[in-house]
Homo-oligomer: A and B are copies of this chain.
Amino acid sequence: MEYRSGYGFPAEILADRPRMERLFDNKWFFVGMRGDIPNRRDYLKFSLFDEEYFLVHGQDGEIHGYVNRCAHQSARLLNEDVGRCAARIICPNHQWAFDANNGALIHAPHMCENFAKSEDGQTHRLDQIAIREIGTMLFACLGENPNHNEIDRMADLIAPYTAPFASAAHGYKRAYHHREIIDANWLLVMINNRECCHCAQNHKRLLALFDPSSFNGTTTPEYQALIEAAKTRWDAQGLAWKEMPFDPDENFRIARYPLAPGFQSITFDGRLASQKLIGPFENGKPDSSTLSFWLNPNCWVHFTSDHIATNWVLPLSENRCELYTSWIVHADAEEHEDYDPDHMKEVWLVTNEEDVGLCKSMSEGASSRYYKPGPFSDSEQFCTQFCDWYMRATEL
């Protein structure tokens, strides 16, 4: 069946793994924040299809990305989800050691003495992937010829929003993170994320924080009043707020939105998640708003006055994916003093879990022999954008 714009994907597209793989070979995707790995030797793993990769904060201060596989006998180099490694990347099998800055073999015990430095030895290095950092946000591309023009254009568009936060880039840390394997088709998880028509029934608690017009491209007099007041306030503070919508040539939407009156952060009770404010708010007062990023192909990220909540999803197979959520706070914020786990994590743990149920359900239904794609409504315009973009991005 042919793809038809304005409708969900045909089953053939949903199950087309080579097409999904093509996407991640050609496009930059979000993999985390510098705040996830703020110190030298910090690392963070992620999986994509059957591969494991890791980001590591090099001795040179830069973030590098590698395949998590030793060049000797293919053992996993790093076994924990997140952690801190040695000054060199050392394989736990035979202690081959690699340079975290470039993947070169430094030492190969049991091999002849000069093997590591030899021409042969230098062919055994870590497989490296391209990483780019834009205002503390980290992007990866797997292909051998990553499109640098594209990431440069993204940087031009993103930077004005993240700059006030990035100036304090080395002043963040990860407070918490959460990983979940979802038995659902990755495309359907992204589609679910791109619309809020399911929110009224499924995200009753989340809706207390936001006006649906923030997501649906619709508006109401109440929302109009709320956002006009907010814009005046944001202009006065010099905060970027202009909505940058998804459009045919761009793969992202950025917008600053007001939170519901009385809410200072993305928490169910509206209170700050962390007492130490960040970025442009560090020396001021919290603002009742969020700077939100929905980036194709795989993330949604919220910068509030006190923390950054990141969510990315990556496919593991046609019917499985991994969701990673992290909460980034000021480097000086202290657990239990300035923030508490249950309070900080609640909104995304609850909301994502509600979505996981729907996504599994849609995936099961889509594998039915009776399946046929259904139409998106006008309020689901960003689903149509995502599907159209995906088809273009993965054309042969």
Binding site for B on A (CB under 8 A): 8, 50-52, 67-76, 79, 92-95, 108-112, 120, 124, 127, 188, 191, 197-198, 200-202, 358, 361-362, 364-372, 374-375, 377-380
Q: Known: A93-B358, A358-B75, A364-B52. Is A378-B112 also a contact (CB below 8 A)? A: yes
Q: Among the listed B68, B110, B124, B362, which residue makes an inter-chain contact with A73, where contact means beta carbons less than 8 Å apart? A: B362
Q: Among the listed B79, B110, B201, which residue makes an inter-chain contact with A361, where contact means beta carbons less than 8 Å apart? A: B79
Is the contact region of chain A dominated by helix, strand, or loop, or is it mixed?
A: loop
Chain B residues near A366 (CB-CB < 8 A): 74
Beta-carbon contact of A70 and B365 below 8 Å: yes
Beta-carbon contact of B69 and A365 below 8 Å: yes
Q: Known: A368-B69, A370-B69. Is A362-B202 also a contact (CB below 8 A)? A: no
Q: Known: A69-B371, A110-B379, A377-B110. Is A365-B94 also a contact (CB below 8 A)? A: no
Chain B residues near A109 (CB-CB < 8 A): 197
Beta-carbon contact of B94 and A198 below 8 Å: yes
How many identical subunits does the complex contain? 3
How far is A92 from B67 in the complex, measured between Cα atoms in Å?
40
Beta-carbon contact of B370 and A110 below 8 Å: no
How far is A380 from B110 in the complex, measured between Cα atoms in Å?
9
Most chain B beta carbons < 10 A, residue from A8, A68, A70, A368: A368
Further pairs besides A74-B368, A93-B202, A110-B377: 19, Cβ < 8 Å: A8-B74, A51-B368, A51-B369, A69-B370, A70-B374, A73-B191, A73-B362, A74-B362, A75-B358, A75-B361, A92-B202, A92-B358, A93-B358, A93-B362, A95-B200, A110-B380, A111-B375, A112-B377, A124-B374
Beta-carbon contact of A73 and B8 below 8 Å: yes
How far is A377 from B112 in the complex, measured between Cα atoms in Å?
7
Chain B residues near A379 (CB-CB < 8 A): 110
Beta-carbon contact of B74 and A365 below 8 Å: yes
Beta-carbon contact of A110 and B197 below 8 Å: yes
Q: Of all chain B residues, which has the CB nearest A66?
A: B370
**A115 → B minimal CB distance (Å):** 8
Q: Of all chain B residues, which has the CB nearest A365?
A: B74
Beta-carbon contact of B110 and A67 below 8 Å: no
Q: Of all chain B residues, which has the CB nearest A379?
A: B110
Q: Among the listed B51, B202, B377, which residue makes an inter-chain contact with A370, where contact means beta carbons less than 8 Å apart? A: B51
Beta-carbon contact of A95 and B374 below 8 Å: no
Q: Known: A67-B368, A374-B71. Is A361-B111 also a contact (CB below 8 A)? A: no
Chain B residues near A371 (CB-CB < 8 A): 69, 74
How far is A191 from B110 in the complex, measured between Cα atoms in Å?
16
**A232 → B minimal CB distance (Å):** 31
Q: Known: A110-B379, A378-B112. Is A364-B76 also a contact (CB below 8 A)? A: yes
Beta-carbon contact of A127 and B370 below 8 Å: yes
Beta-carbon contact of A73 and B374 below 8 Å: yes
**A224 → B minimal CB distance (Å):** 20
Chain B residues near A68 (CB-CB < 8 A): 365
How far is A379 from B370 in the complex, measured between Cα atoms in Å?
42
**A18 → B minimal CB distance (Å):** 12
Chain B residues near A377 (CB-CB < 8 A): 108, 110-112
Chain B residues near A191 (CB-CB < 8 A): 73
**A12 → B minimal CB distance (Å):** 14
How far is A361 from B367 in the complex, measured between Cα atoms in Å?
30
